[in-house]
Amino acid sequence: MTSSIESQHRHVTAAAAFVKKNAVMCIALLAAIVTSFIVPPDAQYLDYFDLKTLTCLFCVLAVVCALKNIRFFYVLAHKVVELFKNARMSVLALVYITFIGSMLIANDMALLTFLPLGYIVLSETGKQKYMAFTFIMQNIAANLGGMLTPFGNPQNLYLYTKFNIPTGEFMSIMLLPFAVSIALITLCCFIFVKPEPLSVSDEKIHLSVPRTTLYLVLFALSIVIVFRVIPYWIGLIVIPAVLIFADRDALAKVDYPLLLTFVFFFIFAGDMARIGVIRELFSMLLEKSTLLFSVISCQFISNVPTAILLSQFTENYADLLVGVNIGGVGTLISSLASLITFREYVKHNPGKALYYIGVFSLFNFGFLAVLTAIMMIV
């Protein structure tokens, strides 16, 4: 009897931990279930799912996991950080690495890769006082840095595919908010971090040339698929087939809850688009200001579901694209990536959650106000 109770307790604890870790996915599932009662499942459900978006996201995540397993990004970042000898320049390097990384490997993966490096650099050099600021700037850099490329953020990949946006037009739409973001991030780092002497431990890591080459080729294949050069199903066959033999652990480490979050929000958004009252309300609001309404929506339901949902009600993809990108800063739930940063900070700094949220909100809403004002004016 006691053994049975203990077993049940373990299952409940494990379930609670899973829900806490994957809160957004669980909310998306609940939303999909609720709307499925309003719009019962039928043949039209099959049209909800964007298979190319899901495939591209899976391919990029899988290859990035393989590169992380050989510590490729750690070595790359460490070599850059070694070039700088003071706290200000090292923090700038960490933030810029995250910024550039989000353009190449998506914002959440950039944070999972480079936040641990930020922690190591600051803790080993006794500069923990800059920990919250650095994590917050890395988070902002990840959310805003990824806006320039179609694969930099999940919502970009979705909108790029859904509206079939030409690559050149996509980048021209995002160029101004991207440039403003770089200026704001750089200014904050110069103001809030002093040029104090700083040294980084010299850790020698030797990369396997064959594995590194193989994974970079797979990464290039993923990017080529995103840019529609070859059919997406080729990547879905080739990349898993290669990784099964080269690194099965990479396939196991793919963020499947993120993929499922997309699936559930596809259902939710598809159902919402078929509810007459909702369709009329959203269409009216988006006609008044697609940019402003998408920014506000992100603060409550996050930028990925906002992109999926609002894309059902407007053809103004330019303003929607800008809105769901700059809307990724603001509240802690405005971007899935922000929850990753919060979780990582609290793990290393228990008892400082409220302090972090306060500082996080101050910087994020500051960035959001400036970016929204500029984009509303131009």
Q: What is the pLDDT along the chain (378 residues), one digit of tens a residue?
A: 666 777 777 778 888 888 877 777 888 899 899 999 999 999 888 888 878 878 887 888 898 889 889 988 777 767 767 788 788 998 999 999 899 888 877 787 788 778 888 888 888 788 899 999 999 999 999 999 889 888 788 889 889 988 999 989 999 999 999 999 999 999 999 999 999 887 766 667 788 899 999 999 998 898 788 777 888 889 899 999 999 999 999 999 888 887 888 888 888 878 887 888 877 887 888 888 999 999 998 888 778 888 988 998 889 999 999 999 999 999 887 887 787 888 788 888 888 889 999 999 999 999 999 999 999 998
Q: How far apart are CA 41 and CA 60, in angstroms?
A: 31
Q: Which two tokens stand for residue 291?
A: 């940019």
**In 3-state terms, what secondary structure has residue 262?**
helix
Cα angle, residue 81 at apex, residues 198 and 94 outer, rounded to 5°: 100
Phi and psi of 252, rounded to 5°? -70, -30
Q: Which two tokens stand for residue 7?
A: 């077993």
Q: How far apart are CA 376 and CA 378, in angstroms?
A: 6
Q: From the DSSP assignment, how many helices (H) and strands (E) are in the chain?
A: 18, 0
Q: How far apart are CA 355 and CA 331, in angstroms?
A: 15
Amino acid identity, position 97: I
**pTM recorded for the entire structure:** 0.77
Phi and psi of 84, rounded to 5°? -110, 145
Residues 187-202 as b or e (16 or more Cβ within 10 Å = b): ebbeeebeeeebebee
Q: What's the CA dihedral at 180, 186, 192, 194 to 10 degrees?
A: -170
Q: How far apart are CA 67 and CA 80, in angstroms?
A: 17
340: number of Cβ within 10 Å: 20
